[in-house]
Amino acid sequence: MVANWKMALSHKAALEAAGALKKMIKKDNPVETVLCPSFPSLAAVAEVIKSSEKIQVGAQNVHWEEKGAWTGEVSVLQIKPFVRWCIVGHSERREYFGETNEHVITKMGLLLKHGITPVVCVGENRQDHQAGQATQVVAAQVRQLFAALTVITVHQIVLAYEPIWAISSDPLSEPDDPEQAAEIMLLIRKIAVELFGRETVERLRILYGGSVTEKTVEQFMIQPGIDGVLVGGASVRPLQLGDIIARVGRLNS
């Protein structure tokens, strides 16, 4: 369960939310939760949750170079002391910051080199969706990503399928049909099996993201092949996020 807080929370609010969640999540809840605050709050959120086994910290992005003259950017070496996870290739990065699959692949490699789990986002936009091209677009993205991985490293990443038209910040967004989302997961697993062999099908971790809330999370989580969720808007209020985590936990215990 990955909570993408985007730019929604002030430093103070991020610390309060992390503290509240730490208290709220029951010890027997099996869900691995990753909180992704903005860069300035990574260290302090990591400090707040450090004694929690179930909650970890992730970054929302990282630069594709390890070091260099990149004004305003943040390197993997700078996030490494605080995070075990990092989102890469989020559709907002791809759309507004011109990130390509090549950038995403470079970032993924850098994160793996430093022992940070990349949460790699893929997904089709509204136009592709309406044109019935979702499977082709996602298959092409995934094939390119997988070409940069091995039978070992493919299990060190987490994929997040996020249909861009379903992300709640888009005023026209609508949640995906859970069965349709599960079909895309199946497609991704088929490609993985073709490239890496049968055992990959069980071990590959894939999340669904896009307008997931406490009302819809179970509908996604009961689908075969959906291992977790990447939540944006519904993750910034601790009570709501705590509810989502509790629901996922009940399904898995």
CB of 148 to ligand PGA, least distance (A): 22
SS3 per residue for the chain: CEEECCCCCCHHHHHHHHHHHHHHCCCCCCCCEEEECCHHHHHHHHHHCCCCCCEEEEECCCCCCCCCCCCCCCCHHHHCCCCCEEEECCHHHHHHCCCCHHHHHHHHHHHHHCCCEEEEEECCCHHHHHCCCHHHHHHHHHHHHHHCCCCCHHHCCEEEECCHHHCCCCCCCCCCCHHHHHHHHHHHHHHHHHHHCCCHHHHCEEEEECCCCCCCHHHHHCCCCCCEEEECHHHCCHHHHHHHHHHHHHHHC
> Which lies closer to ligand PGA via its Cβ, residue 128 or residue 176?
176
> Which lies closer to ligand PGA via its Cβ, residue 200 or residue 210?
210
The closest residue (CB) to ligand PGA is 232
> Which lies closer to ligand PGA via its Cβ, residue 166 or residue 200?
166
Which positions ≥6 away from 31 have C-beta within 8 Å? Answer: 1, 25, 54, 228, 245, 248, 249, 252
CB of 212 to ligand PGA, least distance (A): 5
Cβ–Cβ under 8 Å, residues 212 and 229: yes
- Positions touching ligand PGA (CB under 6 A) are 4, 162, 167-169, 209-212, 230-234
- Residue 129 among the catalytic residues: no
CB of 87 to ligand PGA, least distance (A): 8
> Which lies closer to ligand PGA via its Cβ, residue 200 or residue 211?
211
Instruction: Please pick, among 32, 124, 162, 214, the residue that the annotation labels catalytic.
Output: 162
CB of 90 to ligand PGA, least distance (A): 6
**Could you count the other beta carbons within 10 Å of the beta carbon of residue 88?**
26
CB of 196 to ligand PGA, least distance (A): 26
In one-letter notation, the amino acid at residue 78 is Q
- Residue 183 among the catalytic residues: no
Instruction: Please pick, among 63, 90, 129, 214, the residue that the annotation labels catalytic.
Output: 90
> Which lies closer to ligand PGA via its Cβ, residue 90 or residue 189?
90
Q: Which residues are catalytic?
A: 90, 162
